[in-house]
Amino acid sequence: MPPFGLGHVGLGGLAQDRLDRFAPRRHGQRLVLDPRDVHQVADHRLHPGHRPVDPLDVAIDASNDGGPVLARPAGAIQTPSVGDIPATTAGFLAVVDQGHQHWAFDFHTYSGNKAELSPFDSSCSPAPIFVSHSEFIAFGCRGGQSRQQLGGFNMRGEEMWEQGLFGDFIAPSIAYAPAAGRFALSRILLRVSAVADQPISSDEVNAQAVVVYQTGTGKQLLRADCSPS
């Protein structure tokens, strides 16, 4: 049976805030996620009149070498918002709000076990992303709601590094090189702060920054300032 690969499973109505009673079920290469077992906090609550009516059925295609997860639609739900869950071959990450801008990362295995990992201080809900099967990064905030703080974590419960991200940005994207212990982060930098749900004109775009990081140390190995296409 081919293993699941590294990736994110997109979920309607779910965010990476907090997952208390979430139990993915694996059937061969199909991962079944039932949003009705999810407890949410912060600004991603489901409206009482718009609760999901069906489980979200995601068909997973993965290669034998543990490559990226390729998900294809296999069902649908009704929901007013969207989110995602960072997942690996072994399980998924949940973000737990411990109060006072203090957050915890819990790793839930598909067999039902839980590992409590390193905490993270942030004034907004952190957004974790796996960059390898044993390491992940998390975007956080310092004193506001702009995610301009980046931390690196491992599955041994350690925060390996933390650093700031300069400037206002949109459309972050990541390229992965887990075998080399590196990842690349691309950001579209803005001249002004972005307003949620508002369009951005070309005059407000400043540049595109691409940085290659060493996953274990956070060291910037390469930086390229580009013109966004």
Q: What is the mean pLDDT of residues 14-28?
A: 44
| Residue pLDDT, tens place only, 28-72 | 545 555 544 443 333 333 333 444 444 455 555 555 555 565 666
In contact, 108 and 114? CB cutoff 8 Å: yes
| Residue pLDDT, tens place only, 99-127 | 999 999 999 988 889 999 999 999 999 99
Q: 109, 25, 105, 32: which is closest to 71 by C-alpha?
A: 32
Q: What is the mean pLDDT of residues 156-181?
A: 92
Question: What pLDDT is stored for residue 228 in this prediction?
Answer: 76
Range with the poorest average pLDDT among 13-22, 57-66, 159-168: 13-22
Single pTM value for the model: 0.70
Q: Which has more confidence, 220 or 14?
A: 220
Range with the poorest average pLDDT among 35-49, 56-70, 173-187, 206-220: 35-49
Tokens linked to 80: 């007013």
In the numeric block, the tokens 């201080």 are attached to 121
Q: Order of strands across the sheet with 159-164?
A: 127-130, 135-140, 149-154, 159-164
Q: Buried b / exposed e across 173-187, counting CB within 10 Å, b at 16+? A: eeebebeeebbbbbb
DSSP 49: G
In the numeric block, the tokens 């749900």 are attached to 197
DSSP 41: -
Question: What pLDDT is stored for residue 44 in this prediction?
Answer: 34
Calpha distance 2→11 (Å, rounded): 23
In sequence order, the 6+-apart residues with CB closer than 8 A to the CB of 57 are 30, 32, 33, 74, 75
Calpha distance 38→18 (Å, rounded): 8
